A = this chain, B = another copy of it.
Amino acid sequence: MFCWLNRLYRGLSSPTGRTTQLIWGSLSRSLVLSSRRRIPEFSSFVARTNTCGELRSSHLGQEVTLFGWIQYRRQNTFLVLRDFHGLIQLVIPQDEKMPTGEIEIKVKTAELLNSCKKLPFEIKDFVKKTEALRLQYRYLDLRSFQMQYNLRLRSQMVMKMREYLCNLHGFVDIETPTLFKKTPGGAKEFVVPSREPGKFYSLPQSPQQFKQLLMVGGLDRYFQVARCYRDEGSRPDRQPEFTQIDIEMSFVDQTGIQSLIEGLLQYSWPRDKDPVVVPFPSMTFAEALATYGTDKPDTRFGMKIVDISDVFRNTEVRFLQDVLSKPKGTVKAIRIPEGAKYLKRKDIESIRKVAADHFNQEVLPVFLKASRHWNSPVAEFILEKQSLELIRLMELQEEDVILLTAGEHRKACSLLGKLRLECADLLEARGVVLRDPALFSFLWVVDFPLFLPKEENPGELESAHHPFTAPHPSDIQLLYTEPEKVRSQHYDLVLNGSEIGGGSIRIHDAELQRYILATLLKEDVKLLSHLLQALDYGAPPHGGIALGLDRLICLVTGAPSIRDVIAFPKSFRGYDLMSNAPDSIPPEELKPYHIRVSWPADSEAEKSSLDHPHHPES
């Protein structure tokens, strides 16, 4: 039974410790969290005098007024009352029984404020429920300890960030529009029809243009906790709307932004976690690729990629020979510590399958036996000298396994980067502790290329990040000769192998911006004329960054999905399973917007199937 109780008076009595101890135990994390500043007054403006979690033996003898849910009751004598700060035992006085426990409340009057139907699931963390059910009854799921903890921590962390930016460093919190103009090539932008025929707003993916315009407007330290939109259809751990900590500064360089962010995270970091150590290490994009096979390395553990091309210059292994004879051919490997002990035959098979399926590439597993002999299809072709050199270069121990591949540098690195993470998962599944769950390993990745070859037409260039990114000062001349070699002033912030932020120093020179847009990227500059014009009117040098708030909080709380740090998330197909959005709209309500639905040709059957009230997702 769930119901509301009101007006419970007069604290009293001795030990029933069991219950209250248990509660305080389970809430200790959030208590630690709020202890660093003045504890907020949770009972201001309401009739209650205390929250359920707050009472201690020091309150003995006081009259209190509590509100909460009945957690359970026994023999109409004992009640446990719950709110989101804790639980407390109540005694409805009947005789002079003397219960055990530190404190309990002797009830004077009680009022039932609401009753509760049978719940679709119990609000207990150990009761497993599907995510679809949790999302359908999100307002009940929010009562769980974990969701309360995640959302309260998120609020507190964002508040600390605001204090740091606004109060300590003079940033101005400015709201920018979300009904804007479609960005050229912004294929992932939702459109919003207006009342003028054929005219649409667009929901921007970030306040990028606005924040640069604010710098031109002299609001020289801007930030915003900005709602952003991205329509990617179905993507497992993405949301159609998400939040970023959006920052821009004038007269700043890359080092300045990096120090700002290091300070921001240090200042806002929850007290119940290990403190953030600054400055964060930094690595170039080239080094990240060569060592970790990715631009977002998980630096909590080793198993780095080693280039072993030189070992095999004179090899008799045919496929290594073939690769090394090509101009960009390399041989690379990663070491899996004690892999011989932990990896099973089927693991190795699945690893080789990943390589073949996703990278169209061969991986050779090589086991170093206790006998210091190799166990591998190619073992017989490895010379003694090569073997010793390999052991030295890769610091191999007995029972280690190396995974070896050969191919073009970038491709070989990407493959081994992926296998490194797969093997880490495998080892951890077997009980090896590779990544300390209490460890937060931050890393700056810098010196990205400014341009990449277009996927659909590798002869042309596209921006590696966005067209407003400034080129690296040392590479300016290359813009006019070999633009594909120009490095940018873009920087990414990586935490435990996830990208949690990215930004850049921007172009503030209108001519340079025009050259890059029109000549190198072949974009229609008309669509960005307002921005180009703004740069012409004395734009200051400026740069900024955006942190992905949902992802950051997800990593901080250790939540399995970003949906666990958002109060009302969409499912991975973009549905709100509680209200059933998006939903059909009668044609007459579309009329003011001058749009009509184009039903797919074969869709009469489909159309009727869409009238189902719910779209269950597995």
Residues of A participating in the B interface, judged by any CB pair closer than 8 Å: 2-4, 37-38, 40-42, 44-48, 67, 69, 83-84, 113-117, 119, 137-143, 147-148, 151-152, 154-156, 158-159, 162-163, 166-182, 187, 190-203, 209-210, 213-214, 216-221, 227, 229, 231, 233, 240-241, 243, 249-253, 256-257, 259-260, 508-509, 530, 534-541, 566-568, 570, 574, 576, 578-585, 589-591, 593-600, 603, 606-607, 610
Contact = CB atoms under 8 A, between A and B. Distances in A.
B166 A40 contact: yes
Contacts of A200: 582-585
A593 B191 contact: yes
B574 A178 contact: no
A539 to B, nearest CB: 6
Nearest to A537: B116
Contacts of A115: 538
A154 B535 CA distance: 26
Given A46-B253, A159-B173, 14 more contacts: A4-B540, A40-B168, A116-B537, A140-B217, A142-B219, A151-B219, A163-B163, A177-B241, A180-B579, A182-B589, A194-B582, A196-B582, A197-B603, A214-B567
A181 B233 CA distance: 18
Contact of A600 (B175, B179, B240, B594): B594
Can you list the 3 inter-chain pairs with the closest CB atoms, starting with the nearest? A142-B217, A116-B538, A40-B170
B155 A199 contact: no
Contacts of A593: 191
Query: How many copies of this chain does the complex contain?
Result: 2
B142 A181 contact: no
Nearest to A4: B540
Contacts of A190: 179, 192-193, 201
A198 B596 CA distance: 9
A536 B256 CA distance: 53
A86 to B, nearest CB: 12
Contact of A227 (B139, B178, B209, B253): B178
A151 B180 contact: no
Nearest to A610: B198
A575 B138 CA distance: 37
Given A197-B600, A251-B46, A596-B596, A537 B176 contact: no
A220 B581 contact: no
Contacts of A534: 139
Contacts of A191: 192-193, 585, 589-590, 593
A527 B583 CA distance: 10
Contacts of A580: 181, 530
B585 A169 contact: no
Contacts of A252: 45-46
A456 to B, nearest CB: 16
Contacts of A137: 537
Residue among A46, A154, A231, A585 with most chain B CB within 10 A: A46
A198 to B, nearest CB: 5
B260 A581 contact: no
B583 A69 contact: no
Nearest to A508: B114
Given A538-B69, A567-B214, A202 B581 contact: yes
A28 B3 CA distance: 57
A598 B595 contact: yes
A114 B538 contact: yes
A210 B567 contact: yes
A384 to B, nearest CB: 56
A607 B198 contact: yes
13 contacts: A116-B536, A137-B537, A147-B217, A151-B174, A151-B219, A156-B166, A179-B576, A181-B576, A181-B581, A197-B600, A197-B610, A200-B583, A200-B584
Contact of A172 (B37, B69, B155, B170): B155
Contact of A37 (B167, B221, B582): B167
A482 B289 CA distance: 75
Residue among A114, A140, A147 with most chain B CB within 10 A: A114
A110 to B, nearest CB: 14
A585 B182 contact: yes
Nearest to A190: B192
A224 to B, nearest CB: 10
Given A172-B151, A199-B584, A214-B142, A540 B179 contact: no
A166 to B, nearest CB: 5
A40 B260 CA distance: 14
Nearest to A549: B175
B169 A45 contact: yes
A318 B312 CA distance: 116
Contacts of A585: 182, 191, 198, 200, 202
A570 B177 contact: yes
Nearest to A600: B197
Contacts of A233: 195
A197 B607 contact: yes
A179 B140 contact: no
A150 to B, nearest CB: 11
